[in-house]
Amino acid sequence: MAQLEVFKVGGTLVVDVQADLFGLDVTRVVAPLREKGPYVSFPGLTPGVDFDGRRWIVRIQELASVTAGDLGPTIGRIDGEGGDILRAVDILTRGF
């Protein structure tokens, strides 16, 4: 498991936002990917990403910790917008 990898948990796609620190793989912090249309987006807090041929928003305000075993296999990776995702975590936790 690595930061910015995408997994399916239940029926929800999630992106791993946790740093890859040695020994911290029992649980991972993830944010769900939601369809861009039906969900409200907030500038800076809900970055838009392209994944699997569709446009999504990352709902940083819905961060969750999940056990690594619940993640299953990686189904992809979000690389191009990684900086936007991590800046959104800063906005959520630090306000800027």
Q: What is the pLDDT of residue 64?
A: 97
Q: What is the pLDDT of residue 5?
A: 97
Type and span of the H or E element at 49: strand 48-51
Assign residue 58 the CATH number of its domain: 2.30.30.110
Confidence of residue 79 (pLDDT cuts 50, 70, 90): confident
Rounded distance between C-alpha atoms, residue 15 and residue 34, angstroms: 11
Structure tokens at 41: 């987006």
Q: Which amino acid is at 14?
A: V
Question: Average pLDDT for residues 78-83, to the nearest whole number?
Answer: 89
Q: Would you say 57 and 44 are in contact if contact means Cβ atoms under 8 Å apart?
A: no
Rounded distance between C-alpha atoms, residue 48 and residue 55, angstroms: 7
Q: pLDDT (tens digit, 9 = 90+) per residue, 20-64?
A: 887 778 999 999 999 988 888 899 999 999 999 999 999 999 999
Rounded distance between C-alpha atoms, residue 56 and residue 12, angstroms: 12
Q: pTM of the predicted model, to two decimals?
A: 0.91
Q: What is the pLDDT of residue 8?
A: 96
Confidence of residue 66 (pLDDT cuts 50, 70, 90): very high
Number of domains in the chain: 1
Q: pLDDT (tens digit, 9 = 90+) per residue, 1-20?
A: 899 999 999 999 999 999 98
